[in-house]
Amino acid sequence: MMQRPDFTMVEKAEQSVKAESIHKHVFPAWPSSLLRLAVIICVFASYAWTAYPSYAAGAEAVATNKESNKDKVVYLSFDDGPGKHTREVLDILREEQVKATFFVLGEQAERYPELIQAAVEDGHALGNHTYNHHYDELYSDFKSFWKQVKQTEDIVNRITGFRPNLVRAPGGTYGHFDQNYFDLLELGGYTVMDWNVDSGDSKRKGVPAKEILRNSTKVPAGTGSVILLMHDGGAHAETVKALPGIIKYYRDHGYRFDTMRAEDPPVQFRVHPEGKYKSRKAPGAEWVAEHVKFNRNLWLSGKELKVEIGLAAGTLKPGEFRVEDQRIMVPLRPFMKKFGGSIRWDVESRTATALWKDRVIQANSVSGELKSTSASLSNDRTIQGAVQSQGGTIWVPLRELLELMGLDVSSLQSNESEWIVKANMPLAAALNFYLYRTI
């Protein structure tokens, strides 16, 4: 794991916030119109200036300790894409403000790199579903499976700058994996994820949306953590039709939605005692040492992080931020100070409060809650489980922080030395901010 400097929040005296009186004046019609026009022109002229930045993965699954009725969570997962229905799935998820995990095929990622990029930009997680989904190749021996995992990993890395270390076996692990597959993938730094609820959308051709919805909501008794299998590749238009109903069901039943991460306890099928491939030979020690043993080091190396907002930019060096799967975590206090914000620490509530423009962002290190309020806007937002506290440092996810600052993340790019995150203040937010300041 990358070494990172710790810092200690220093409590500051709270600044009193004085309410400003709003004086109303009555103008004749034409001067009022000219005033409105002048305000709009000023907003467009000063848009780049007002948008300067503040910083910036048929068998019974093995139960895990994530299953808890106290915190009901559902992980929507889509296999075999990207494909012709992925854009529709992304549109629905964006409209519903839900995040999902996409287990992608390398050959499909090569065909539709723009959909891979769109999924990452929308905040979804990516997993590795091998290159071509051909069972005879994948399960003839582990070397073939490994080759396809690495091939897909390299393709995704070229597109996004991330190497997904979440893996899902085509067809699931039951009857396909022996213990060597599990052990060697773990040694190589991967987490294998099966599922515990199957939508049944790939059982046969043309499974209707009603049946997919019914299957998707058959949650085993006592299951608090649901990993739902669906597909966005191939002919799965009915899955798209069923998706809004699936989201509504889990939302109505008190589930929160989340993306999978490699550090999550794995949900895996048991090894089939009479599996088709039980006579398969394991790779030799020399091959394992050359290809697998040091593979996990790929996730320990770091790049610089460059954040661009409007016309301004800032860079964080390796060690000044962390990468956990496909989430970039930043330390809140240095982040805000470096890009024009201020922050104070309340010892009693264990809460850091950051001030940026008209935004007040609170990070509670006890509950993990990240919350944003705005004096000029009514769209307050709270994100659960986003805050981490380690060694006196408050860490928050970059994407969520930028969004709570009222910014839109427009792109995530990568080269050999750095990640580049670009974000902008939406025009409507800039207009509201400007009007708020001039009233």
Give catalytic residues, as residue numbers. 79, 231
Rounded to an integer, what distance in angstroms lies between the CA atom of residue 104 and that of residue 78? 8
**Long-range contacts formed by 298-303: CB under 8 A, 24+ apart:** 298/163, 298/189, 299/163, 299/165, 299/189, 299/323, 300/1, 300/2, 302/2, 303/161, 303/414, 303/416, 303/417, 303/418, 303/419
Measure CA 44 to chain center. 32
Structural contact between residues 52 and 312, judged by C-beta atoms closer than 8 angstroms: yes
Rounded to an integer, what distance in angstroms lies between the CA atom of residue 229 and that of residue 61? 13
Rounded to an integer, what distance in angstroms lies between the CA atom of residue 371 and that of residue 358? 14
Structural contact between residues 160 and 325, judged by C-beta atoms closer than 8 angstroms: no
Rounded to an integer, what distance in angstroms lies between the CA atom of residue 356 and that of residue 377? 14
Rounded to an integer, what distance in angstroms lies between the CA atom of residue 293 and that of residue 287? 9
Q: Kind and range of the H or E element at 106?
A: helix 106-111
What does the angle CA 92 – CA 51 – CA 422 come to, to the nearest 5 degrees? 55
Q: Which amino acid is at 288?
A: V
Q: Of 402, 367, 366, 395, whose CA–CA distance to 381 is shortest?
A: 402
Residue 281: half-sphere exposure toward Cβ, Cα within 13 Å = 4
* Dihedral, CA of residue 251, residue 256, residue 261 and residue 264, to nearest 10: -120
Helix axes 142-160, 113-121, angle to 10 degrees: 70
- Structure tokens that stand for 37 in this block: 């026009």
